[in-house]
Amino acid sequence: MTYRHTRKGRGALSAVAITAGLLLTVAGCGGGDDGKSGKDGSASASATKGDGSGKKDSSQSSEGADAPLAEVKSGDVTLTITSVVRDDGGFVTVDGQVINNGGEFWVASNWRSDERELGANGASMSGASLVDSKGKKKYLVLRDTRGRCLCTKFEGGGVDAGKSTDWFAQFPAPPEDTTKVDFQVGAMPPASIEISEG
């Protein structure tokens, strides 16, 4: 009995040793540096190229994102427009982002409307407008019967340093043949945008 168990144990150890040897051989043959760095071996390295801090290269991360339709800057604040859609209901919805690139909280109070009716909206996009230079008309933000604008109201009154927030504003639609307008809010430069059909 003892001799039989010894033979079985030795057989099992031999099988384990052979298997381990084969695995090490296979692992040693594949995926190594073959001295061709900069040619075939550089494809995977360039796909994860960065600054060594684990962050992606900014030029690569922005390639997949949709480019804004328009972008304007004033000081540390950047306003982007990502969508301008004419809807069947007779209005145009403009969407975008406000980005605070500064080191301090940005207060959005100068973007609110001067109209008394919209005064209760506080820090908001209520002061935005669309200007149709072809038709010589200015379109103000729509509002409901209580004087609330159909637009974004900034929580906390603005945007924290280094942060961004999405926004929207709705306007009466210009005539069908008007496809280009200028978006204006506060002291930001006007942004030329093209209306797409919803």
Joined together, the tokens standing for residue 149 give 């604008």
Q: Percent of the chain having pLDDT more than 70?
A: 67
Joined together, the tokens standing for residue 107 give 């207060």
Q: Nearest to residue 184, comparing CAs of 143, 116, 132, 147?
A: 132
Q: Give kind and range of the element (H or E) at residue 25.
A: helix 2-29
List pLDDT tens digits, range 86-98: 998 899 999 999 9
List pLDDT tens digits, range 126-182: 999 999 998 899 999 999 988 889 999 998 899 999 999 999 999 999 999 999 999
Which phi and psi (to 5°) does residue 37 adopt? Answer: -65, 140
Mean pLDDT of 73-80: 94
Domain ranges of the chain: 67-197
* CATH topology classification for 67-197: Immunoglobulin-like (2.60.40)
In angstroms, the CA 51 to CA 42 distance is 16
pLDDT for 11: 52
pLDDT for 175: 92
Read off the DSSP letter of residue 21.
H
- pLDDT at residue 3 tops 90: no
